[in-house]
Amino acid sequence: MLLSGGLDSATCLAVAQAEGLAPIALSFDYGQRHDVELEAAGRIARRAGVEHVVCRIDLRAFGGSALTDDVEVPKSDGDVVPGPAEIPVTYVPARNTIFLSFALALAEVRGAEQIFIGVNAVDYSGYPDCRPEFVDAFQTMARLATKVGVEGVCAVVIRTPLIELSKAEIVTLGTRLGVDHASTISCYDPDDQGRACGRCDACRLRARGFADAGIADPTTYQ
């Protein structure tokens, strides 16, 4: 399962464990500007007692995103929360495609039958590769790409347990499953101590999720 260190993937991990599965957590060191995200992923995996594989890849050479470049992360003090109408500059080109491809390789090598990804098509930042139709198309492709798909032994299933949940529902589900929300980092621009800016898209979606769920927000802000 893909583990970013954020609230969604931590909840996704808890869902997989609640089903009695033994997930392998996969994170990427992809030149993201905030190492604290990877540290959060490590904390979450340790706390859950699962194996954590970190794969180093080099997306920085490609450029093109505020999450890896020196572009300023957009922030706002207003109430406007981003919707699917526009794709923000924080979008990393083909990121979920790349991450799922590595997950597919790991699943094939380890004999895993499912890949969990915490994408969400409700309260999301408008990234094209978070939509259900993208995930479905990836699964179709994955079955044709792999040895197991060809040999018909088993074909990997892409699981997206959060895809139709609102952020408030994800917060509620995570609370019920014992997710340590304080360990997770959603902010696109945290400081060195992992404190959230409170003003980027990700922070605002997260804060609204806690508010709507009526659950106290344990996030440490700058």
Residue 83, interface with a second copy (CB under 8 A)?
no
- Give whichever of 12 and 59 is closer to a second copy, judged by the CB atom: 59
- Segment near a second copy (CB under 8 A); pick from 85-93, 115-123, 172-180, 203-211: 85-93
| Helix/strand/coil for 113 | coil
2 in Cβ contact with 26 (< 8 Å): yes
Rounded Cα–Cα distance for residues 43 and 10 (Å)? 10
Among 14, 43, 66, 91, binds a second copy (CB under 8 A): 91
Query: Hey, what amino acid is at 28?
Result: F
Residues 6+ apart with CB under 8 A from 181: 7, 10, 171, 174, 175, 218, 219
Element (H, E) at 114: strand 114-116
Structure-token pair, residue 91: 């979008």
Residue 144, interface with a second copy (CB under 8 A)?
yes
Residue 56, interface with a second copy (CB under 8 A)?
yes
Residue 61, interface with a second copy (CB under 8 A)?
yes
For the CB of residue 120, give the shortest distance to a second copy in the complex, in Å.
Answer: 16
Binding site for a second copy (CB under 8 A): 53, 55-59, 61-64, 87, 91-98, 100-102, 104-106, 108-109, 128-129, 131, 133-134, 137-138, 140-142, 144-147, 149-151
